[in-house]
Amino acid sequence: MRKSFSILASSVLLLLGSAQGIWAQNVGQYPFGTWASLYDVNDSGVAMGWGDVNGDTRIVGVALLGPNAGEWFKTGVSSNDDWNGEGGGIASNGMIVASITGNNGYARAYAWTAGYRAGIDLGTLRGDSGSAAIAVNHGGTLIVGLSYGDSGSTPVAWTLEVESNYGKPVTTWKIQRLPTGGLDQLGQVWQGVTLNWWGGWGVNDLGQIVGDAWSDNSDEIAVIWNPLPRGQGWTIQQLPHQSTVGVHKYTEALAINNQGDIAGDVNLGEGWCDDVCTDLPALWRMGSPQANTWKLIELTTLSGAQEGWNTALGINDVGDVVGISVDADGNSHATRWVVTNPSKPKVIGFPGDWSQAYQVNKSRIAVGSYSSGGGPYQPAAVAIH
């Protein structure tokens, strides 16, 4: 269950230079309203997120590179629902996935490409009230998220299918229920606990999906779905929740790269922010692809201490991990780690005294948000080296 923030913004910055942001270039004034937030960026340097459009929350985006740098775009539909801050993604072909507000007031998973007037309502599982598309792979062929009702949700994937329409091939998106492997049953993971909420948060081009299962009391486990041969579905396994630090009752998997490495976080308490919030950024390193094994590593925080709210939100295919971490003075900064040296965090270099990074592409452009002096949050993009 990703923690989201309300983002207030008027402009977006692209910082080029070192990981400390040597100089900044304003690449465009946000033109549609008073706030915006960037959540993902594809390998062509196009970012997507959420923004205020004349008082209405909608999916928005901006080109960060090339002749269209600084040009913003928006959908023509509302996203005023509880899931509009829970991710979203953009594929290499420019297709954006997120959620919009359905006719019944619940979120509806949505796929849309800038330049087209309308997108595609991806639908829900039969009997559910709403759905949310959280992430898409680079190739734009696999979307993941959830389908939900009032008392729980089901992890789902949407796959591209080719159907015949009057003898002509037509591609459509088909929703598929991801298996829970019995982990959703009362007492299966923890005594007296039912994990009734599920979602897929990240996906790679190999068809691997990562996500979470959580209870109404925020007990949570990180899981991965590995694809079966010949497109026959997926198998589920719980990701390791024990490391040299100890056993974590709260774990969260948020993103996965094409090497099978996973970014997320773990909590040192009995649940999410139990009494004192001590959340650590986490990396699950892929061990043996044949055996589907991972090793849990707690990433070092900026302060070096295991305290405060720290999390890894995104990861690219060249081994950069980005997120948020608290420094020795108690300030939260957008932070970058490297898979091969996870004990050496660096401040990415967003402006302001608070910042976080949501995702980073293979060109090492990280997107996120910042604020100064408790003022409105603003989106930013940084080229890290």
CATH of the domain at 184: 2.130.10.150
pLDDT of residue 201: 98
Is residue 263, in this structure, part of any structural domain at all? yes
Task: For residue 124, give the amino acid letter.
Answer: T
Q: Is residue 103 part of a domain?
A: yes
Domain assignment present for 240: yes
- Name the residue range of residue 198's domain: 11-383
Residue 365: inside a domain = yes
The reported pLDDT for the residue numbered 14 is 61
For 49-105, the three-class secondary structure string (H helix, E strand, C coil) is EEEEECCEEEEEEEECCCCCCCCEEECCCCCCCCCCCCCCEECCCCEEEEEEECCCC
Question: What percentage of the chain exceeds 70 in pLDDT?
Answer: 89
Q: Hey, is 2 helix, strand or coil?
A: coil
Query: 296-319 as b/e, with b when 16 or more CB fall inside 10 Å?
Result: bbbbbbbbeeebbbbbbbbbbbee
Tens digit of pLDDT for each residue in 54-96? 989 999 999 998 888 889 999 989 888 877 777 899 999 999 9
**pLDDT tens, residue by residue, 372-381:** 888 777 788 9
Per-residue pLDDT, 135 = 98
3-state secondary structure of 230: helix
User: Could you tell me if residue 5 is inside a domain?
Assistant: no
The predicted pLDDT at position 292 comes to: 87
Distances in Å between the Cα of 95 and the Cα atoms of 42, 48, 87, 176, 271 are 10, 10, 15, 20, 36
Is residue 3 in a domain? no
Q: Which pTM was predicted?
A: 0.92
Q: Report the number of distinct structural domains present in the chain.
A: 1
The average pLDDT across 328-348 equals: 96
Looking at the domain assignment, is residue 71 inside a domain? yes
Report whether 296 contacts 239 (CB < 8 A): yes
